[in-house]
Amino acid sequence: MSAKRIRKPVLAALGSAAVLLATACSAPGGDAGSTTGGATSAAAVATSCGSGPVTLKGYFETGFPLPKQLADEFTKQFPNVKWDIREDQFAVITQNAPRVLADDPPDLMRLPQVSELVKDGLLKNLDGYAQAYGWDKWPASQLEQMRVGSNGQRGDGPLYAQGLNFSMTGVFYNKKLAAQIGMTQAPATLADLDSALQKAKDAGITPINQFNGGATGGLAFPLQNLMAAYGEPGPINDWIFQKPGATIDTPSNLQATQHLEKWIKAGYFASDINSQDYATMMSRFIGGKALFIFDGDWESGNLDKQMAGNVGFFLMPPSQAGGKQAAMSAPLTYGISAKAANADCAAFFLNWVATNQKARDIDVSVGGSHPMGPSDAYMPPVKEGSITAATLEAGATIGKDNGSMDFIANATGAIYAKSWTPQLQKLAAGQQTPDALLKSVQKDYESQVKG
């Protein structure tokens, strides 16, 4: 082949690329900035699904049967409403959320951390519905995490999402293994827990199994529990809600991180936590291979079935006997796209989930967590001695102690994958110090909040 003949197509290709470049040269991005959700006023709303046929477009999290069963029950009660449901793993939903909300708006969607979605004007302001349905008369703490101010701070401002229920986290334990080390009741103080861990280790039992592999830094669960044992939940929430001047690098959090490091160095965690994902942790715990896991009540139904009678739950004990207790507790957030076609009907569904007796039954029996709604609302009966009963009771304790916290992993959209996970993996491998860990997370947090 001669050089002359080859040059022509190459030139043509380069030329077309240049043309394409030139046409594409307007700045990327839409006018989304001008339609900030915070500005949309709460207009008059319809509080029903009407009587004509409606197809609600749902985007749910796969692996959790609750939303699907609620949807089915809803259709049973309101036959004119049909569903068009798409499911994905939570990680995929997190990555897709902005584009799906913008380009293929669902009526109802499982939401990741909301503040950035609100900044981009992608979520519907639910204040109108909150007034119409009386959500604003529910205990304020239920909706706090889903309120977003105009600058992206959470905890205050218009409501942008609603929960199907709200979850409670703590420590699950294997009763048979607990009996082996003579642990007959839940540890009352942090020191009690420490000694239980040591006894388990001495007995050749893996004291704690916690997922911490891949992109899932599960040590965030015990870490945040320790933070609340050493300090107050208030400042932790301020940090998560992006309140100005909030920092995670506080003396009490440092003590908590040092305590976690002590557990790691003492060999209280399974040696391979850095390669374990969530499913591995669950299957090992259910298989009786560890005494404790730090997890949430979304597993209550599952554990009641698979380890019936052999599993217990307690809230992280306080550092002093009788002290206040705190726990991560968050609503299972669902929101409505700002461009949703059937927003009224989706909001009606959300209200129905919180107030309908059958829906609340499903919430507890399938979801295992506390339903949303007024504090005097109907509570479904639960089986005495079951894990579901224990986690619901823990919810009452947290309510009394005002100890509810959002997850430190939810502070910004990227803080979990970008900061907590790698840092906690380094801590688990002995490659990071508690002090440097907190400083590094705080530095990432500041750059993300600013950006």
Partner 1 sequence: MPAPVTGRRARRARRPGAWLGWLFVAPAAVMYAVFVLRPLGLTVQYSFYDWNGIGASTWVGLENYARLFTEPELFATIVHAFELILFFSLIPVLLGLFVAATIRGIAQSRLALVARTVLFLPQVIPLVAAGIMWSWLLSSTGLANQLLSAVGLGGVTRAWLGDFGTALPAVGVIGAWVLVGLCTLLLLAGMSKIDPALYESARLDGAGPVREFFAITLPSLRQEIGVCVTVTVIAALASFDVVYISTQGGPGNSTMVPGLEIFYLAFSEREVGRASALAVVLIVLVLACVLPIQRLTRDGSR
Residues in touch with partner 1 (CB under 8 A): 13, 16-17, 20-21, 24-25, 27-33, 94-96, 98-99, 102, 116, 119-120, 122, 212-215, 271-276, 413-414, 417-418, 421-423, 425-426, 428-429, 431-432, 448, 451
**Taking the complex as a whole, how short is the minimal distance between the CB of residue 199 and partner 1, in angstroms?**
24
Residue among 124, 116, 125, 84 nearest 98 (CA): 116
- Closer to partner 1 by Cβ: residue 46 or 429: 429
Distance CA 90, CA 440 (A): 26
- Cα 351 to Cα 49: distance, rounded to the nearest angstrom: 12
- Residue 226 Cα distances to 259, 261, 283, 424, angstroms: 8, 11, 25, 14
Residues 6+ apart with CB under 8 A from 230: 252, 253, 255, 256, 259, 319
204: left (phi over 0), alpha (psi -120 to 50) or beta: left
Q: How far is CA 278 from CA 197, 209, 273, 298, 413, in A?
A: 21, 10, 10, 13, 20
Toward partner 1, which CB reaches closer, 33 or 63?
33
What does the DSSP 8-state code read for residue 270? -
Burial label for 32, CB within 10 Å (0-12, 13-18, 19+), is middle
Query: Minimal distance in Å, beta carbon 28 to partner 1?
Result: 5
| Spatial contact of 405 and 224, defined as CB atoms under 8 Å apart | yes
Torsions phi, psi for 230 (to 5 deg): -90, -25
- Which phi and psi angles does 91 have, rounded to 5°? -60, -40
Residue 127 · residue 158 · CB < 8 Å:
yes
Q: Tell me which amino acid residue 388 is.
A: T
Pick between residue 117 and residue 190 the one whose CB is nearest to partner 1: 117
CB of 229 to partner 1, least distance (A): 25
CB of 152 to partner 1, least distance (A): 12
Q: Which residues contact 20 (CB under 8 A, 6 or more apart)?
A: none
* Distance in Å, CB of 345 to partner 1, minimum: 26
Nearer to partner 1, 218 or 233 (CB): 218
The least distance separating partner 1 from the CB of residue 209, rounded to whole angstroms, comes to 12
Least separation in angstroms between CB 38 and partner 1: 14
In angstroms, what is the minimal distance from the CB of 272 to partner 1? Answer: 4
Closer CB to partner 1, residue 286 or residue 350? 286
Tell me the closest approach of the beta carbon of residue 415 to partner 1, in angstroms: 10
Q: Which is nearer to partner 1, 94 or 369 (CB)?
A: 94
